[in-house]
Chains A and B, each alone.
Chain A
Amino acid sequence: MEQPIRVLVAKPGLDGHDRGAKVVAAALRDAGMEVIYGGLHQTPEAIVQMAVQEDVDAVGLSILSGAHMTLFPKVKEHLNRAGAESILLTGGGIISAGDMDKLEKLGVGQLFGPGSRLADLVDYIEKEVARRRTATRSA
């Protein structure tokens, strides 16, 4: 039997606009995933700690504060340090295409800006997690 995908959805930093995170969490649940909702105002350290204990396949961050160029790399760095580099780091927010490219070069997955379709996000996580699961299994 195919094992459900586990995703941590959290909001790092100071902005309190959690509607997006909640909409995404509900969409991922409806797609059959187990979504751990980490809540607001989490530090990168706390997010990685949660991701490790929950043994998730993916972490989705919602950042609307403009601090994405600090927060995504920080979370990525802590994931690597925890030996959890195989966990997919993705997310969304008000992020320019240029910044998305820069973050991708740091190992962050695809990011979803305003106007993104939930179905695309679901599809991306499903495919990317499946790919990573196969890759680690054959390693």
Chain B
Amino acid sequence: MTELASLDEQELVVRLRRGDQRACARLMTWAERNDPRFAVQHRAFCDELGVAQRIGITGPPGAGKSTLVEGLASHWRESDDRKIGVVAVDPTSPFTGGALLGDRVRMSRLVLDPGVFIRSMATRGVFGGLARATDDLADVLDLFGCHSIMVETVGVGQSEVDIARSCDLTLVVLHPGGGDTIQAMKAGLMEVADIYVVNKADMPGVDRLVQELFDVLELREIPEDQQPPILTAVASTGQGVPELAEAIDGMVRDRRDSGRQAERRQDNLERRIRRLVDGRLRHEVWQARGLSDLLHQRLAEGGKLSAYELADEVLDQYQQAAGHPANLLGNISQTDPEDSP
């Protein structure tokens, strides 16, 4: 086989379509690296996307997310030979920039199955449980012909939860002994679930956790037919996995038919575009215009400085360099909390 580096981008996509895993993996790398070649290709293939169902899987660390992904993937492989894609996100260390991506250890049964493509991903400085290019990687798997794509978030703690804005359907995985439901409520997990999975259901405390979930959900005054179902499972043995798979497929079908899926995808798309614009503006201000250097320089001069004063100074400089109208800068400095990533 020829080395990938010598291929141009069109050839890479041609090979991906033929089922070449290495080409698929390289396109993902381009997306992760923010390589402009990815954006060019994305424009070309974007109208082919949206075929796969995208399932987000989130929950606290140790809830059994990876094991559940393995269970669901195995189930779908056996039941209808479905092609599966997995994106597993783990955190980047804010101190060293390094990351230990360990989700594969729990998915070793899937490794040699040519119908399963797994990619581990580090957050690279993004909070909310996903990385910047997670949607891009899911797109590549969609193009690669995967029917079901599972996106596993980092073990979320008390941070916002982006996964619900990125997938068709979100599973929240909890386990007895993982703290009470107040913990899950604090983490924002009680608002994002389309399906709850109480995993490790062979451990004591399952009934109580399920009851607590019911109680919390009742408080939210959602119409009965839209209450997220609560399922139990033992991912390590496969118990409850077929029922969960069926619940997912059923919900995906219903939403596709009712138009809710299209609505949600539209919302997700808007969020994603806003994130891209935010990211580019940030890059434009700090890197492309060299304003990081300006800021460091001003800070190094010492003395008591008002944060607001310096922020204005940075934006003034940006305005002069870019020749943008002042009202645009006004919008940048007043970040709408709704829109921040």
Contact = CB atoms under 8 A, between A and B. Distances in A.
Interface of A: 3-4, 25-26, 28-39, 42-43, 45-46, 49-50, 52-55, 81-86, 136-137, 139
A37 B88 CA distance: 12
A52 B5 contact: no
A52 B97 CA distance: 23
Contacts of A84: 22
Contacts of A52: 21-22, 25
A137 B6 CA distance: 8
B93 A29 contact: yes
A55 B26 CA distance: 6
A36 B104 contact: yes
Contact of B98 (A3, A35, A49): A35
Contacts of B21: 49, 52-53
B101 A35 contact: yes
Contact-residue size bin, chain B (C-beta under 8 Å from the other chain): 20 to 34
A30 B98 contact: yes
A39 B4 CA distance: 27
A4 B29 contact: no
Interface string B141-155: 000000000000000
Given A4-B124, A28-B98, A53-B119, 9 more contacts: A32-B97, A34-B92, A34-B122, A35-B100, A52-B25, A54-B25, A82-B1, A82-B22, A86-B5
Contact of A83 (B22, B108, B112, B118): B22
Nearest to B93: A29
B26 A38 contact: no
A33 B76 CA distance: 34
A37 B101 contact: yes
B102 interface: yes
B327 interface: no
Contact of A54 (B2, B96, B120): B120
Most buried by A among B6, B98, B120: B98
B3 interface: yes
B111 A136 contact: no
Given A31-B96, A55-B28, A137-B5, A37 B22 contact: no
B318 interface: no
Nearest to A137: B5
Interface in B78-137: 92-93, 96-102, 104-105, 108, 111-112, 117-120, 122, 124
Contacts of A42: 108, 111
Contacts of B108: 39, 42, 46
A53 B117 contact: yes
B1 A30 contact: no
B33 interface: yes
B102 A3 contact: no
Nearest to A10: B104
7 contacts: A4-B124, A30-B93, A32-B97, A33-B98, A34-B92, A34-B98, A81-B1
A1 to B, nearest CB: 8
B154 to A, nearest CB: 14
A49 B1 contact: no
A50 B33 contact: no
A39 B104 contact: yes
Contacts of A85: 3
Contact of A46 (B4, B22, B24, B111): B111
A37 B98 contact: no
B317 to A, nearest CB: 22
A83 B93 CA distance: 32
A53 to B, nearest CB: 5
B100 A29 contact: yes
Contacts of B96: 29-32
A86 B4 CA distance: 9
Contacts of A43: 112
Q: Which 6 A-B pairs have the closest CB atoms?
A: A83-B1, A136-B5, A29-B98, A55-B25, A39-B105, A32-B97
